[in-house]
């Protein structure tokens, strides 16, 4: 008979909230410093580091609460649950940001993209540029941004949970 004392829900909710707050905090810093449309490289690095830390420590906590035992399935469930909670909260923030806080976000981001495209490829025709910007505009609608945010969170959560689970795996012995 298996006695599991750990709960995915008990672990995922606080770790998911902490991860969401960390990534939102980084976004607020980027916004406050006026770098929103530049999308600095360090923003992605900090967000990825926070994601790794939250998922790894969440899985480690689950293992500790489960008498030191952890299956790969439990690691994946825990990691994906943390990523899902953080992704939903982060996507809600993104939606509020692009619709209320910075309603001109899409227009300004498209202009920043136009400038970057001209710098990187000065020989690009106007038709090519408009086609690229048209595709970018479709991807920047609030609904698509929310969906992509949740999907990306789950994708990276899966990869991190898989690696963490393989490293920390300690199956309960069968009697």
Model confidence pLDDT, tens digit, residues 27-39: 999 999 999 888 8
Percent of the chain with pLDDT over 90: 66
Q: What is the pLDDT of residues 111-130, one digit of tens each?
A: 888 888 888 888 888 888 88
Q: Confirm whether 175 is domain-assigned.
A: no
Domains: count for the chain:
1
Identify whether 174 is part of a domain: no
Whole-structure pTM over 0.85, yes or no? yes
Q: In the predicted model, what is the mean pLDDT of the chain?
A: 91
> 52: Cβ–Cβ under 8 A, 6 or more apart, which residues?
160
> Does the residue 173 lie in any domain?
no
Q: Is the pLDDT of residue 4 over 80?
A: no
* Residue 17: predicted pLDDT: 98
- Domain range holding 85? 8-168
């Amino acid at each position: 008979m298996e006695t599991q004392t750990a709960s995915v829900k008990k672990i995922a909710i606080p770790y998911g909230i902490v991860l969401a707050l960390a990534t939102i905090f980084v976004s607020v810093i980027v916004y406050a410093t006026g770098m929103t449309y530049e999308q600095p490289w360090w923003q992605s690095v900090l967000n990825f580091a926070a994601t790794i830390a939250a998922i790894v420590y969440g899985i480690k906590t689950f293992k500790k609460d489960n008498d030191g035992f952890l299956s790969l399935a439990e690691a994946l469930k825990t990691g994906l649950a943390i990523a899902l909670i953080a992704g939903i909260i982060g996507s809600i923030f993104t939606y509020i940001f692009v619709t209320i806080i910075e309603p001109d976000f899409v227009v300004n981001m498209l202009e920043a993209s136009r400038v970057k495209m001209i710098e990187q490829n000065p020989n690009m025709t106007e038709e090519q540029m408009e086609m690229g910007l048209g595709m970018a505009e479709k991807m920047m609608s609030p609904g698509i941004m929310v969906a992509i945010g949740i999907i990306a969170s789950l994708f990276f959560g899966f990869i991190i949970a898989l690696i963490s689970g393989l490293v920390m795996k300690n199956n309960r012995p069968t009697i």
